[in-house]
Amino acid sequence: MLKVTAVPAFQDNYLWLIHNDTHAAVVDPGDAAPVLAALAARSLSLAAILLTHHHPDHVGGVPALLRHAAVPVFGPRNERIDNVGCLLEEGDAVAVPELGLRLTVLDVPGHTSGHIAYLAPEQDWLFCGDTLFAGGCGRLFEGTPSQMLASLRKLAALPEQTRVYCAHEYTLSNLRFAREVEPGNPALAQRLIDEQAKRDQGLPTVPSTIGLERATNPFLRHTGEEILRQLRANGYIDNDEPVAAFAALRQWKNTYR
Ligand SMILES: [Zn+2]
């Protein structure tokens, strides 16, 4: 039986451990120490490292983990990341035999130009790095709004029960912005209550699901009537063109406190 366990790191990162009783793969190990501690606590052997993009808080722990165990490192073909031996792009398959785990790769550029996501179709698990967040999306550091929008639409089209293992605990601040731009969404109001209750108990709000994101995430709902009205009322757009609306929403979020 495969499980996914969150390994918190830095301020608000989640490094994801996919494991059975003996082995583990780690997604985006920005720091080695908490991963090594999590492996030791469960007596797990590291079997693979999976990387979504090149940012240091996602790859910084790779050298130290490789000194601990010489395992395969998977990562995006279109980014230069040290130690990546298996270069991946859209449609590629990844196998981690120690776990009986099979993943497929999605190209999701926008946050970075070569960002990839890993989908486990048998389990309906999605590891999407800094592309789709619970209630939000990543900043556009390297890609264009139309690239990011296409990436988010690809993820939003996955089955609604798909669990979204994103890489940061940004949910409450994302949802406060979502409420600002879509105050009339009852699913969003309920989600704010539910996620606040989890944080009050010190629990992660991640994973989310694709269904919940479709219902509450403004970056998947930017062509909805209420969000377009808010964008117009605040002077961000003067027409309803979808890419312009998405870009305006992302811009608004960048300045929102
Ligand atoms: Zn990043």
Q: What is the pLDDT along the chain (257 residues), one digit of tens a residue?
A: 999 999 999 999 999 999 999 999 999 999 999 999 999 999 999 999 999 999 999 999 999 999 999 999 999 999 999 999 999 999 999 999 999 999 999 999 999 999 999 999 999 999 999 999 999 999 999 999 999 999 999 999 999 999 999 999 999 999 999 999 999 999 999 999 999 999 999 999 999 999 999 999 999 999 999 999 999 999 999 988 999 999 999 999 999 97
Query: In this predicted structure, what is the pLDDT of residue 13?
Result: 97
Q: Measured between alpha carbons, how far is 73 from 2 in angstroms, rounded to an integer?
A: 20
Buried b (16+ CB within 10 A) or exposed e, 180-193: ebbeebeebeebbe
Ligand 1 center from residue 132 Cα (angstroms): 11
Active site residue 68: no
Query: In this predicted structure, what is the pLDDT of residue 257?
Result: 77
Ligand 1 center from residue 53 Cα (angstroms): 7
Ligand 1 center from residue 14 Cα (angstroms): 12
- Active-site position among 19, 23, 54, 58: 58
Active site residue 53: yes
The one-letter code for the residue type at 107 is: D
Active site residue 222: no
